[in-house]
Every structure is written in C-alpha cells, then in structure tokens.
Amino acid sequence: MPDKKQPLWKNPAVVGPTIGALIVAAVAIPPLLPKSDKTSPLRPDIESIEEFPSGSSTIVIKLTYTGALDNSDGTGINEVKVWHRHEDDDVWTEVDIAKTGQNGEFLIAGLAKPGVYYFDMVATDRAGNRSPSPDGTNGQRDYLVKIRTPVAAPSDRSSSSGVRDFIRKNPRFANSVGWIDVPVRFTVIHDEDQGQIGDDRIHQQIATLNGAFFPGQISFSLVSINRINDSALFNASRSIIEASWRPNPTAMREPEALDVISHKPNNGVIGMSSFPTGMTAMNAGIDGVTVASSAVSGGVAPFNMGQTVVHAAGHWLGLYHTFQGGCTGPGDEVDDTPAHSSPNFGKPDPSVRNGACDPSERAPVHNYMNYVDDRTGKSFTSGQYVRMKAVVALYRPNLLKGDQLALVRR
C-alpha cells in the first residue's frame, strides 16, 4: 500500500491526511573560506523539504541537504545535525541524529504542534571546528529555513467534525446517492526505459481500483494517459514534481479528477496522496497520487497488485489509516474498523490481536488502509464507503451530478 514500507508516512495525504503547502525561506550560504583551525566549516543548504502525515498525531519532516563540501585542505565534514524550534518557543532543539558526508537527508518526527517550525543545520569538520548554531553556540545566526505545517495536519480534526456531522444529518446519503464515478488521469514519468509502464498495466490498475471500490458504488474511469520522459523528474521527490506540475497553483481545476503519477520516489516511500481537506488555494499541488512505478498493478512483489494506488485513492477520498492515532482519540473516525496501536506489515495472522486496542477485537489486517502486503489487503468496510461518499459531497462535489447534489443537506 502507498506508504506501507515506511512507518513515517503513517498517516496520507503521504498516503495520510494531507500533503500541505511548504513555505520555504532559505538564507544565502556564505562563500567557502580557506581551512584553518579558526575557520568554521560551511553549513549545508537545505535542498528540499517534504512533510509526511504520520501514524500518530505528529508530523514527520524530511530534510534533504547538500553543500556540506570538503574544506580546501581535505579535512572535510565530520557530521551534520539539524536543529528546530516552533514559532511559539524560544528554545532550539537539536535532533539526536547525525549524518556524515556532503549530502544526505534527515527524517524528523514528533512535530505535533501546527504552525511554523524553524530549521537550521550545524556542521562539524574533522578538526573539530563547528559552524554557528541557532542557539548562539559558536556564534549567533538566523534560521536556515522555515515551514508551515499543513492547515489540515493529522492533529487538526476541525474538518473531520464536518464529515461526522454530514453523516449524522444525511444518514441515507451513501445509499441514495448511487454510483459516483471518478475520472482518472494517469501520467507516467520515466527515464527512457526505466519506469515505462505499458497501457496494459494502466488498464489493469484501473480494474484493480474498480474491484476495490465497487461494493461502495464508487467507480474509476480512465480519461487520459500522459507520458513524460525526464530523468530528473523521474527520480525526483513528490515536492519537486509538484513544483513543476501546475503553473498556476492557485487555479482550481475543472473538472474534478484523480491524478495518478508514477515515477521513482527518491525517498523510499512507494506512494503518497493528497487529502481532500488540504487541497486549498494556499497549498494546491498535485491533487492525487504519486506512486512508485514498481507498485502499479503488474509491478514488483510484494506490492505488485495495485493496492498502493487503492490505499492512496482511499486517502484522496478522505480515509485515514485504520491505525490513525493508535489507541487514543477519534482514530480513523469509522465505527466498523477496530482501532489498533500501530500499523501491520507483511502477512499478519488475522486470528491474533495484532495490536488491537480492545482485547476482544482483532486489528483489521485485511483492510486496504492498513500497511500490509498487497496479497493481504482485501477490503474496505461499509463505514469506510459511507465516509468516502460524505467526503465527496463536502469536498469533491464536482464528482456529483445535479440530481445527486440535490440530496446533500448540510
């Protein structure tokens, strides 16, 4: 399933609730100075930032850095560390992870507060010289970059209460609205033969989507196939693809459609999705799914049956992970999916608890919104279908026809 190999994305939009806007303000890097015992090493620059919803109510940030170049005499960078603080706090926190080398990436979890976070990087060379840090150690300086966490971050349930209210006011909507059809635009980003996906696999993927959503009267229709031969884009992160995706990011798109974009993720996450409550004029990017080419139907086991896109499409239609929030809080807000403390992977034995919060229950290991292998994921629940149709009514009404819209009572 989209993110199932990576616990950090326990949560899309990645695929957890939303893939929000990232507001980045980089500070110019000073020129490289000649190496001496008195010279601080050059701090790295942050090349890219991505936000992943996580399995709990926290946010996981991925920082990719570059520019920690060897000094002129070859002494070189010994380690790089990340510091961060929230806009409401005066104290900087040093992340207890160190990286070596001139390029690398950090995954930083536990950022539970919505709002602006400031990040900086501190480099130490092999001679023990250290670049200035934001807390004033070895010199004071401004932050390197800042991001604003998404409006609809995993810990923000304001929009979710609207879904619950809608279901309460429209208890028969899911049945009476009938079939909802989702147009699909499929884009294959490839590097010559690498990542090239034939039409047969794309049609197979659409069939897999229809098989999974059919019981809830939700269908998917392929409307276009686009191919982009671009080596850099093929190997890029979702955020970089988003940056080149829409020339006018504030434009609202008509008609509504699910974009499925295959490429080779450079962060190991095989699938990510936007979340409907997060697609606003402020943070509009790709309103859809990015997926590893190998995880499209007919790809590479154990994620070769197209369930990654099924899982991500569930996020696109408003579903949380079945383990959302663990054993506290509202969870995934669906009554017929037993809460469980953490994601399940591989092919778990369904006869044991597998982290179920209630000792009398069993974790839904066959649910598409868990993190199990493709051969294990088999179904959505009735409650999940009801939620998806409510989300369509509230956040994707362009998918409804006139007579269906008439059934919506807010």
User: What was the pLDDT predicted at 406?
Assistant: 72
User: What was the pLDDT predicted at 45?
Assistant: 64
State yes or no: pLDDT of 7 exceeds 70.
no
Mean pLDDT of 171-193: 91
User: What was the pLDDT predicted at 408?
Assistant: 73
User: What was the pLDDT predicted at 91?
Assistant: 79
Mean pLDDT of 180-193: 94
User: Secondary structure of the chain in the HEC alphabet?
Assistant: CCCCCCHHHCCCCCCCCCCCCCCCCCCCCCCCCCCCCCCCCCCCEEEEEEEEECCCCCEEEEEEEECCCCCCCCCCEEEEEEEEEECCCCCCEEEEEEECCCCEEEEEEEECCCCEEEEEEEEEECCCCECCCCCCCCCCCCCCEEEECCCCCCCCCHHHHHHHHHHHHCCCHHHHCCCEEEEEEEEEEEECCECCCCHHHHHHHHHHHHHHHHHHCEEEEEEEEEEEECHHHHCCCHHHHHHHHCCCCCCCCCCCCEEEEEECCCCCCCEEECCHHHCCCCCCCCCEEEEEHHHCCCCCCCCCCCHHHHHHHHHHCCCCCCCCCCCCCCCCCCCCCCCECCCCEECCCCCCCCCECCCCCCCCCCECCCEECCCCCCECCHHHHHHHHHHHHHHCHHHCCHHHHCCCCC
Domains within the chain, CATH numbers bracketed: 22-148 (2.60.40.10), 159-405 (3.40.390.10)
For the ranges 18-27, 47-56, 383-392, the lowest mean pLDDT is seen at: 18-27
pLDDT tens for 112-131 read 565 567 777 777 777 777 77
Mean pLDDT of 36-47: 54
pLDDT tens for 237-255 read 777 787 676 544 333 444 5
User: What was the pLDDT predicted at 152?
Assistant: 29
User: What was the pLDDT predicted at 86?
Assistant: 74
State yes or no: pLDDT of 56 exceeds 70.
no
Instruction: Round the average pLDDT of the chain to a whole number and report it.
Output: 74
Residue with the larger pLDDT of the pair 18 and 110: 110
